[in-house]
Amino acid sequence: MKEAVVYIIDASSSMNRFYTSKETRLDCAKQAVIDSVSDLMLQSKTNEVCVIVCKTKATTHHKIDPGTDLAEEEPPFPHLTELCDGIQCPTAQLLRDIASIQTDDNTDDIQQGDVIQAILLAADALYTRTHKLKFQRKIVVFTDASHNFIVQKKPFLVVVDALRDMECQIIVVGMGFDEDSAALYEAPLPLPSAVTSNGDNKRIKREEDGTSYSVSVKDEPEDNDDEVLYYTEKRNREQLLVTLTEKTGGQVIAASTLQQILDINRGKRLTASVRKKIDFRIAPGLSFPVRFFPILKKASYPRTKKELILVDEETGQIIKNDEGQDVTDTIKTIKKFAEDEKADDILPDQECTTAIRYGSDLIPMGDNDYEGLKDFTQKGPLLQILGYASTNQVPRIYMYGPPYVITGADSQKACAAIMGLAQALQRSEKVAICTLKKTSKGSPQVGALIPLIEPEFETPLRLTFLHSPFAGEVRELSMESFTDIINETDDRKSNVCDDLIDSLMLPDGCLDSGMVFSPFHRSWNQTMVKRVFDPSVKPVTIRQQVDPLKTPPDILAAAETALRNFAVTFPLKPAPTNNPKKTKGQTGRTILTFKDYL
């Protein structure tokens, strides 16, 4: 599902305080937003964002009608600036605009344009762009909560309820927040919020448990309006933001370092095939719709694209668009064929076809012929159980992915059937042999259904489909038996191997395959971001900085003795190959082997 994310950056004067030894709070916020927006750009071209800057002298956003004279008419949401008009697909220019954000002088004199007003404006932008559309909505706020908040109760509560209806999370990155302000909520509160009054203090109350947060209120300048709350203490402002995230199922991150800000979990974009409907046929005459989706998918490498830069024929200058960028056009490759004897006579398309080499001949085989080879006897998508077999009859080593999860989604009948089948397979130590046809025009694939073991559940609740090979797809391996060359009575060599393994044991969470990012994709991402600002910058190599695919240095240091003992016990010596292969400048080659020393 595509995402719609609104980023709110606090640009008050307090954000100029140094957050690290070199960067200010505003610098860290800008770097985090640039990193997050560029990540969304690389994930999908359909993701959309909006960036709102608080406490600016100017006022520019989508609620201001074109041609409005701001000198004569006070605009809604004053002192808030959108770097783009509402929610749009991000561009390279947006990244440059984010990098150029600076705090205006004397922002302390600006009473309006606070974070709360920015959240209201962000909610309006989300509703305007994504109402009745399928988006994953999110508001991410970067603030130190050092400026006063002015909250109009009725509009504020209406917007909170609207965010809940849109299933929009609010994530607050608190820069300089107290650690006890950090909070994570997996789901919104089930009941709407309410505001009560108690003497000189105003309280925002949570109805389900009666807990209230005290809010210090300064004297209101006009008629002591009880419909407006003034948050003048930092602790109360932090608590208000915590309450907002609680009501929308978001989180507050009390970040104390730049790395903590950059490590915010933005989640993975779900592919189009996620939660795809499929007909699940358990037995003849017994079927129901379920959902299936891949839980693993290898990240694809970005591809370069060739385009032509258009040049003005009269002046010879490169044509620029309104944003000052080069105007380009796509390159199309058109292939034409001709007979050998008549190279100038181009054959029409209807006289050309593709062919497959069959021995020394070419057999015509077109795209339509390929489609005719597929099985259209059964409609798809379809998952059909053919029978059951013992787990010993279906070796896991021959099953391959990507694995697909089968779930009942919103159907209670389907959930009950899948859960019952998964638990029955686990108890009986059986697997279900089945065929999977993912599309109506696809070919069926054979595989097995096994229970999905999840740590958070004591018993399996869902099924997993793994592919099984067809005949001829399994390679037969032939290796010399190690029992003929290993001296099983030599305990010394066994102990050396055991010591090596023990010394290289990794702590929990170290080199976890689910937590290590691809060095190539991280390098690609950072290179693209840097080239937005400087096209001549050299590629960024992550592995030269902190290589995530290396054994931690402290573990290597502790294993030095075991590694030395292993090298001494099993020395490598050159051994000639049986069939030396001649190469340039060499008469043969040699290999290193442990075989004679095991």
Number of H helices, E strands in the chain: 12, 25
Which residue shows structure tokens 């970067």? 142
Sign of the torsion formed by the C-alpha atoms of 69, 73, 78 and 84: negative
pLDDT score of 75: 84
Tokens of 557: 């240091």
Phi (first) and psi of residue 268, to 5 degrees: -105, 140
Find residue 520's DSSP bridge partners. Answer: none
Tell me the whole-structure pTM to 2 decimals.
0.65
Tokens of 313: 């024929």
From residue 573, alpha-carbon distances to 481, 567, 589 in Å are 21, 11, 13
Distance of CA 154 to the CA centre of its chain: 36
Which residue shows structure tokens 């109360």? 236
Domains and CATH numbers, the chain: 3-183+250-262 (3.40.50.410), 492-508+551-598 (no CATH), 512-542 (no CATH)
Phi (first) and psi of residue 119, to 5 degrees: -65, -40
* Mean pLDDT of successive 10-residue stretches along the chain, which has 598 residues: 91 84 86 88 87 91 81 84 90 91 75 89 92 90 89 87 90 81 64 41 38 36 62 87 86 65 46 67 87 78 78 87 78 78 74 84 80 67 92 84 83 87 93 89 86 86 89 73 56 84 84 70 80 83 64 87 87 63 50 46
CB neighbours of residue 509 within 10 Å: 8
Cα 515 to Cα 545: distance, rounded to the nearest angstrom: 18
Cα 141 to Cα 115: distance, rounded to the nearest angstrom: 8
- On the CB side of 455, CA atoms within 13 Å amount to 0
- CA-based radius of gyration for the chain: 32
pLDDT score of 208: 38
pLDDT score of 550: 78
| Rounded-to-10 torsion of CA 535, 539, 545, 547 | 140
Task: Answer yes or no: are the C-beta atoms of 83 and 51 closer than 8 Å.
Answer: yes
Identity of residue 82 = E
pLDDT score of 213: 35
Tokens of 97: 């605009």
pLDDT score of 127: 92
